[in-house]
Chains A and B, each alone.
Chain A
Amino acid sequence: MTPSVSLKTNPLLGQWLRFESNGTVTVFTGKAELGQGILHALKLIAAHELELPVSKVQTEAANTKHSPDEGMTSGSLSVQDSGLAIRQACAHAAKLLKANACLSYAELLTHIDPLLPIDVTVSTKSTALNRIDAREDLEALVRGEPIFLHDLGINVDLTPIKNNWGQSNINLLHGRMVRGPGLRCTLQVDGWLEALVALQEGVQAFRDGSLVGVVAGTEELTEKAASKLQRLLKWDVESLPVCREGGIDLFELAPAMDSQVFHETGQAMEAGKDAKVYEAVYFRPALHHGSMGPSVALAVWESDQASSGLKVWSHTQGIFPLRKDLALAFGVDAQQIEVQHMRGAGCYGHNGADDVAYDAAWLAKHVPGQCVRVQWTREEEMQQSPLAPAMRVKLQATVQANTETTKFDSRQDGLDIELLTWQHDVWSQGHSTRPGRAATPAFKDSWQTEKKFPVLEPINVAAAAGAGAERNAVPPYISSHVKVNAHRLLGLSFRTSAMRGLGAHANVFACESFMDEIAHDQGLDPVAFRLSKLEDLRAIAVIKTLSDQVNWLERRQSVLQKEGWGLGIAYARYKSKGAYCAVVAEVEVTHQVNVRSLWVVADIGEIIHADGAISQLEGGAIQSTSWALKEQAHWDAENITSTHWDAYPILRFSEVPEVMVHLMPGNSQNGETLNPPLGAGEATQGPTSAAIANAVFHAVGVRVRQMPLSPDNLAKAALA
């Protein structure tokens, strides 16, 4: 097997494994625990390959001092990148153990050179792993132990905080940023000195350009000082584009657009006179990450010397990219900065973690030797974190029914329906402003300083990395001619970036709704139509398995006997090269859409930790249900106004559907070899939302092409 990207970048055994004198093995990873249970999955891989009990293997949280550089924890790639590298390192270690006739890994310590490269030719185990050992961190979570970064330094015992230089019990200060009234605003400097006079004793306030923050000994003092300054300071505010419905107008309002042909294959066949042209436009509004815990960070500088070291504690998705941008922002060498990862609340993409790390480091720079903890408020989390961009998708297809040769039965299979052309146009801002990718820092607040680092325009990552707005824009279905045009909106005031699935959510929603629309118009069963247009056997197997599990044809008929109920299906292979996933949704439409049940079948390749994968797929399906039914960011002329949960409702316990998840076996069709793992974290996002829209159409005959499928949008679609 080709070595994973992470192994190529970090080829030494010592970068991944440390053999302890007590016979246990410590595994290093550059991937971050985001609540998805990745550290547990990696530990299972290592234990399996090392032939050790899971209790003899430990993982160490990512730290720039000792972890391999694996970039971001994103794109459902952690098992493929980190897992396969760890597997290879462990296979090599297990071979060395035998070759050196060692009784334990402790003995192996004396036999190997720390700079030994990992032998990529050593075979890994061919037996399926599929472990069921539970995550040990659940115990700590249910006991409410202080395992989150949010708890660090807060506890009366400050010993967990040690800086780089071995000094412990360093003084902890609380920091808050002072925000202007707008999303983009400039401070009027003349009122600054007068405002400072009004501050209480014990509070220190700092300013650099339009960036303002305060520190004090308690949260209460800091919060009060921040609100006072907020009231006293004057700002010039840049207006935001007039918006309706989460950004439905942005496509007309964007000052510029970069349009490109993203993909084109085949040639359009000449359409017969009875060919039919379909066209539809779909919309996904801008969304918030909505992590349960607003972002937090701690930072301390060694001294006020220019060459001083910085330590930062962060729940970032990428410790090395964060370090790179901190170095750019503060003009220091990256080697002077240590970033320690500690878990935060569930993370589903580029949230405020990196930005608040910059804030903490910026404030801490003014008080060297003291540790500054910055906890964003809920309002800051919603306003300052990047948004998932609003997306518009237009689909056009030419469909030829070969009526001359068609018998009624074969038309039911869809085999005599040909997709002659398929064109997918997607309009969106870019899906990444992550740190580590540009020559200047990506932190929003660094753009406010006197130095005025340039505002970064959101980008889309390359197609090879799974693309951004264009992710899953290429349909999985056979068509003589396929063309995908991507239109990146430029110059808008919103900072947009990656959220679970990136463009796949809206693109799959559009593609799978469109397939349903064509099937309905042609009088075809949506499952049969999809199957007739797929070649990939694993895709076909996933859909057939799902169809069998829900007893598709019979349930699709019987569900209609209940007023307002319907059943819909959708399918996608995430990033066109990741996990295969099909979802059936059962809904009840009253004045609103109620999702009652979801069935998910996924082929994620080799299964490392079935329960972890099922949790990810199930959680993703519930999150996607929330996006599809309820979510839409909104703003006024100055700022984002969906700043709290009443203004940005998400799915609650009373609304959550039942979810049944089935994993396909992780081995190949002949059962002899393991399929490579494909990642599970994002596979359900697109198909779930699309299956819900298709079920709504089945239930009440209304095609809702605009998310969320709220009572308003449902009513609007019904009247259209």
Chain B
Amino acid sequence: MLKSNQLNVNGQVVTFKPGADSTAFQTIRNQLGLTASRYGCGQEQCGACHVLIDGQSKPICQLPADALVGHSVVTLESGQNKGLPSTSYLTALQLSFSAEHAAQCGYCTSGLLISATALLMNASGTLSDLQIRAALDPHLCRCGSHNRVLKAVRKAALQCGLKIDDSEVSA
């Protein structure tokens, strides 16, 4: 049982100072030094800060840090922990994002990878193009790397043993 000043982050128990930050985002970056989650808007409108909370991709820029207590938190820095259920999906996605050059400035990349990880990890058998787009829709990208990102997610999905349903391809 974790104490009220302990969090489960990337499979490890870490201690934090409750009340020192306005948001979970600040705690994760400033106290824990996990800076892969990016500050984009502070209003849950751009997706740059997403992390996995109990396997779901969520923004943390307005969430109080205390709300993370008792939940499993996974950030992009979790790649080293092979024991996490998300790691194999995240690794496949990181490789395909690199291979497809699916970033220009890369500021939105962390959030996209987190949502794509949740999508692949929680998918059952088949994914459609519309499902992929819907999963990434909370995320904004200003450089215009969208199509490469979509391609990279499709490629990683196939590598993770999922099927892509092409019949539902949107334009």
Contact = CB atoms under 8 A, between A and B. Distances in A.
Interface of A: 34-37, 134-135, 137-139, 141-146, 148, 150-151, 154-157, 218-220, 223-224, 290-294, 343-348, 375, 377-378, 588, 594, 596-597, 611, 615-616, 618-623, 644-646, 650-654, 656-659
Interface in B22-37: 22, 26, 29-33, 35-37
Given A138-B97, A155-B35, A619 B45 contact: no
A623 B97 contact: no
A294 B39 CA distance: 8
A292 B146 contact: no
Given A151-B35, A345-B40, A623-B144, 8 more contacts: A35-B143, A37-B104, A150-B38, A157-B33, A292-B40, A343-B105, A645-B43, A653-B150
A144 B110 contact: yes
B113 A345 contact: no
A294 B42 CA distance: 10
Contacts of A652: 137, 140
Contacts of A219: 21-22, 26, 30
B113 to A, nearest CB: 7
Interface in B124-148: 133-134, 136-137, 139-148
Given A150-B39, A654-B134, A658-B147, A138 B103 contact: yes
B136 A644 contact: no
A292 B35 contact: no
A220 B106 contact: no
A36 B38 CA distance: 19
Nearest to A617: B144
B21 A653 contact: no
28 contacts: A35-B104, A141-B103, A142-B94, A144-B35, A144-B110, A148-B107, A218-B21, A218-B30, A219-B22, A223-B22, A291-B107, A292-B46, A294-B39, A345-B107, A346-B105, A346-B143, A615-B148, A618-B144, A619-B145, A622-B147, A644-B43, A644-B45, A645-B46, A650-B142, A651-B146, A653-B141, A654-B134, A656-B146
Q: In the A-B complex, list the 5 residue pairs whose CB atoms are closest, starting with the nearest.
A: A35-B105, A144-B36, A619-B144, A622-B144, A141-B106
B142 A346 contact: yes
B140 A293 contact: no
Interface in B80-110: 93-94, 97-98, 101, 103-110
Contacts of B106: 35, 137-138, 141-142
Contacts of A154: 29-30, 33, 35
A206 B36 CA distance: 32
A141 B100 CA distance: 13
A615 B146 contact: no
B20 A220 contact: yes
Interface string B26-65: 1001111101111111110110100000000000000000
A656 B147 contact: yes
Contact of A619 (B41, B104, B107, B170): B104
A54 to B, nearest CB: 15
Contacts of B149: 653
Interface centre among B29, B36, B37, B141 (most CB of A within 10 A): B141
B25 to A, nearest CB: 10
Contacts of B98: 134, 138-139, 142
Interface of B: 20-22, 26, 29-33, 35-43, 45-46, 48, 75-77, 79, 93-94, 97-98, 101, 103-110, 113, 133-134, 136-137, 139-150, 170-171
A143 B76 contact: yes
A31 to B, nearest CB: 15
B33 A155 contact: yes
Nearest to B110: A144
Main secondary structure of the interface of A (DSSP, over half): loop
A112 to B, nearest CB: 37
A61 to B, nearest CB: 15
A347 B106 CA distance: 12
A35 B106 CA distance: 7
B142 to A, nearest CB: 5
A623 B142 contact: yes
Nearest to B134: A654
A645 to B, nearest CB: 4
Contact of B147 (A139, A151, A618): A618
Contact of B136 (A146, A377, A653): A653
A620 B143 CA distance: 7
Nearest to B106: A141
A190 B149 CA distance: 54
Nearest to B26: A219
Contacts of A653: 133, 136-137, 139, 141, 146, 149-150
Contacts of B20: 218, 220
Contacts of A144: 35-37, 75-77, 109-110, 113
A525 to B, nearest CB: 25
A377 B43 CA distance: 10
A367 B102 CA distance: 42
A597 B38 CA distance: 31
B38 A148 contact: yes
A478 to B, nearest CB: 33
B101 A135 contact: yes
A345 B39 CA distance: 10
Nearest to A623: B144
Contacts of B31: 156
A335 to B, nearest CB: 32
A34 B147 CA distance: 20
Contact of B39 (A155, A290, A293): A293
Nearest to A155: B33
A235 B147 CA distance: 47
Nearest to A293: B107
Contacts of A224: 22
Interface centre among B33, B41, B170 (most CB of A within 10 A): B41
A36 B171 contact: no
A231 to B, nearest CB: 16
Nearest to A290: B142
Nearest to A157: B33
A646 B138 CA distance: 12
Contacts of B42: 377-378
A292 B108 contact: yes
Given A219-B26, A653-B136, A653-B150, A142 B142 contact: no
Contact of A615 (B30, B104, B171): B104
A142 B30 CA distance: 21
